[in-house]
Chain A
């Protein structure tokens, strides 16, 4: 997995609450059997004026001039500023894949939906929670200053603004450790194979029906 330590990048807005994963990546693009290539369809229905199709070349499509990611000032953004309950709805991991493929490394919001939050960590994308007021400050500063860049420092758990404001954020130790070191979750779990086998052995005794095979 891609590791995440400290980044500095342009911040872009997704200024509405309850952004669902259908909005982040509409269902027609979930037909892909790959993990990559979703960036061009990130926020497809907001970003383009026509209906997007899978496997379509997007360069000639009509852009929605009102959508911030289409504005020159937000090009090459790597930090997404969002509102509460970001990533709600469907569990599709295509949502973090699309954000990552587009170039985002971090999403800052007052709250995230649980499954989306979890999925981000599996993909080297940092979902970062600040308070409502702090997020509001960042939005205001960003709107006021084209080219506004934020520094996100995971080891010290800080967001630093161009003006030198510092906001502290919380993150689980284990997730932080995995993200900083780009660790593969599965490999780590398999190191505990003996514990898993011991658990299974006990359960086979106490609840044998749980181990009946699914048969055709």
Chain B
């Protein structure tokens, strides 16, 4: 057989039917469901008198709308103050009960952001096809799986048929070799990649992240990178399976049992691109050159190093890009040439499916330990990605470190990543955020988001403006 990429292998293994026009029916192993993009799908099933094809392949949990304060969480769904949010979370509960779908409900300790819960529980495994009505499903590609977001009609389609009508994407290899500098995190790596290829650079591709930097990276770091494949335009990002993958998966609740492990491991070991496999596009970066990244504009590609200045639109030759930059500067209230480190922060948000896992919590805690939040920063919030991450962090005493530094320690959920609950930015406020999108209004009407790593966000919360976290920690 010809040499195949990891994506080719995953695709081939799930092909149910190939059509002459290039579209295909592919089989879906795992379907994760949340409250925002599923109500209309369940309604569709009901109207057509259909049932889920394989109900035990589905796992649900509410995340986008759930409040993150202890007070509002105390009485479960009925405690959600926003009546519209309450109905949506309640609707998920009702639908899961009606169709017999396992759901980690609002105050279940396993509840959390879908893309954190999936890998953490072992519901998402190497070699699987994984979908969810949410674009950041790509996170699961870190496991060596084919994972991507789908729309609500497709949620209904997968529920009813266990299949998706899809067309094979092209293959892109993003190779980052060399060694990352001290203090450079997976978030900086992925922001640098997006800065290089642009938000549409990966459109039509499945990206495989390869090279020394990813081989050395932890699973959680790989998840951060794959999570933002969509911000580079690619529906799916993935990393080949290695020992790090297998160590991560072993022992998780839904991982294969002892009896099946050897067979599964043998299959998973093959989940790498063959030598000589063809990629339609190859992008390379030198890991040693990546600096801590900060986004200055309203698109994730508008990103620079922390030591840089806000770029000048006049220097851009592409007219459409130039206009976009001008509009972004106006929205962000920044001027060309301004030093990134002069940007003052009103709020700090550490959380989201990009950076809310235990390693992210640890990285942020390490920076704030023994320090205090700047008075000029109104609020610094830390929102763990799941109940289990929260419990782990508390067992390690991280919550106390945050609270002592003046940071708020919250209940798990999407929170200020998209501000569907009460956690949001005020108009004009600047936020150092570990989330993934800095679009206009994303974190609140008129809010101004700067995407950074957890360590950088924590340091900004202490200093009140952006600082190079490497010097900052060096000052001890």
Per-residue 0/1 for A18-60: is the Cβ within 8 Å of any B Cβ (1 yes, 0 no)?
A: 1010110011101111110000000001000001001100000
How far is the CB of A211 from the nearest CB of chain B, in Å? Answer: 8
Residue B165 CB within 8 A of the other chain: yes
Q: Which of A112-120, A140-148, A161-169 contacts B (4 or more CB under 8 A)?
A: A112-120
As a 0/1 sequence over residues 13 to 41 of chain B, the CB contacts with chain A under 8 angstroms (1 = contact) are 00011011111010101000000110110
A115-B150 in contact (CB<8A): yes
B2 contacts partner chain A, Cβ-Cβ < 8 Å: no
Residues of B within 8 A of A186 (CB): 48, 50, 156-157, 160-161
8 Å CB interface, A3-31 against B: 16-18, 20, 22-23, 26-28, 30-31
Q: Which residue of B lies closest to A119 (CB)?
A: B151
Indicate if the CB atoms of B134 and A91 lie closer than 8 Å.
yes
- CB <8 Å contact, B25 and A195: yes
In the complex, which range does the number of interface residues on chain B fall in?
35 or more
- Expressed in whole angstroms, the minimum distance between the Cβ of B31 and any Cβ of chain A is 10
Q: With a CB–CB cut-off of 8 A, which chain B residues contact A30?
A: 36-37, 64, 420
Q: Which of B56, B58, B163, B419 lies in contact with A196, CB distance below 8 A?
A: B163
B25 and A93 contact, CB distance less than 8 A: no
CA distance A172 to B27 in the complex (A): 21
A178 to chain B, nearest CB (A): 9
Q: Are A85 and B203 in contact (CB under 8 A)?
A: yes
CB <8 Å contact, A214 and B324: no
A122 CA to B40 CA, complexed, in Å? 13
Contact across chains for A51 and B59 when beta carbons are under 8 A apart? no
Query: Are B153 and A27 in touch, CB under 8 angstroms?
Result: no
Whether A195 contacts B17 in the complex (CB less than 8 A), given A91-B150, A186-B156, comes out as yes
Q: A105 interface residue, CB < 8 Å from B?
A: no
Tell whether B299 is near chain A: CB-to-CB under 8 Å.
Answer: yes
A84-B200, A111-B203, A185-B165 known; A27+B420 contact, CB < 8 A: yes
Q: Are A114 and B91 within 8 A (Cβ)?
A: no
| Interface check A156, CB cutoff 8 A | no
Are A209 and B203 in contact (CB-based, < 8 A)?
Answer: no
B416-457 to A contact mask, C-beta < 8 Å, 1/0: 001110000000000000000101111001100000000000
Measured CB to CB, the nearest residue on chain B to A32 is B84
A20 to chain B, nearest CB (A): 5
In contact, A85 and B199 (Cβ under 8 angstroms): yes
| Contact yes or no, B161 A190, CB < 8 A | yes
A108 to chain B, nearest CB (A): 16
Smallest CB gap from B110: residue in A: A216
Judge whether A173 and B21 touch: CB under 8 Å: yes
Q: B475 to chain A: closest CB distance in Å?
A: 38
Choice from A88, A93, A190 contacting B151 with Cβ under 8 Å: A93
Of the candidates B21, B56, B135, B199, the one having the most CB atoms from chain A within 10 angstroms of its own CB is B135
Q: Is B355 an interface residue (CB 8 A)?
A: no
Size band of the interface chain A makes with B = 35 or more
Question: Is B256 engaged at the interface, CB distance under 8 Å to the other chain?
Answer: yes
CB distance from A194 to the nearest CB of B (A): 10
Query: Which residues, 56 to 113 on A, are CB-close (under 8 Å) to B?
Result: 83-85, 88-93, 96, 111, 113
Q: Contact at B200–A122, with CB atoms within 8 Å?
A: no
B437 nearest CB neighbor, chain A only: A89
Residue of B25, B64, B203 near A189 (CB, 8 A) is B25
Q: B27 near A200 (CB under 8 angstroms)?
A: yes
Given contacts A196-B16, A200-B27, A207-B264, contact A27 B21 (CB under 8 A): no
Bound CA span A43–B268, Å: 45
Whether a CB of chain B sits under 8 angstroms from the CB of A137 is no
- Residues in A with CB closer than 8 Å to B19 are 174
B65 adjacent to chain A (CB < 8 Å): yes
Quick check: is B404 within 8 A (CB to CB) of the other chain? no
On chain B, the residues within 8 Å of A51 by CB distance are: 445-446
**Does B267 reach chain A (CB closer than 8 Å)?**
yes
**Interface check B195, CB cutoff 8 A:** no
**Contact, CB under 8 Å: A216 / B27:** no
B116 interface residue per 8 A CB criterion: no
Residues of A within 8 A of B163 (CB): 189, 192, 196
Q: CB of B125 within 8 A of chain A?
A: yes
- Could you tell me if A196 and B161 are in contact, using CB atoms closer than 8 angstroms? yes
Min CB gap A132→B, angstroms: 9
Our pick among B36, B233, B267, B327 for the contact of A207 (Cβ within 8 Å) is B267
What are 17 A-B residue pairs whose CB atoms fall within 8 Å in the complex? A16-B324, A23-B440, A30-B36, A85-B203, A93-B133, A113-B233, A114-B233, A115-B150, A119-B153, A173-B20, A189-B161, A192-B17, A192-B25, A199-B27, A207-B267, A210-B128, A214-B56
Q: Give chain A's interface residues, CB within 8 Å of chain B.
A: 16-18, 20, 22-23, 26-28, 30-35, 45, 51, 54-55, 83-85, 88-93, 96, 111, 113-115, 118-119, 122-123, 172-175, 185-186, 189-190, 192, 195-196, 199-200, 203, 206-210, 212-216
16 new A-B contacts, CB < 8 A, other than A31-B36, A31-B84, A45-B445, are: A31-B82, A31-B88, A84-B200, A90-B135, A90-B437, A91-B135, A93-B40, A93-B153, A113-B233, A114-B169, A115-B150, A115-B235, A118-B154, A196-B25, A203-B27, A212-B257
The 7 closest A-B pairs by CB, nearest first: A213-B56, A122-B153, A33-B39, A119-B151, A209-B256, A93-B151, A91-B149
Which residues of chain B have a CB within 8 Å of any CB of chain A? 16-17, 19-23, 25, 27, 29, 36-37, 39-40, 43, 48, 50, 53, 56-59, 64-65, 82, 84-85, 87-88, 91, 102, 123, 125, 127-128, 133-135, 148-154, 156-157, 160-163, 165, 167, 169, 199-200, 203-204, 230, 233, 235, 254, 256-257, 260, 263-264, 267, 299, 320-321, 323-324, 327, 418-420, 437, 439-442, 445-446
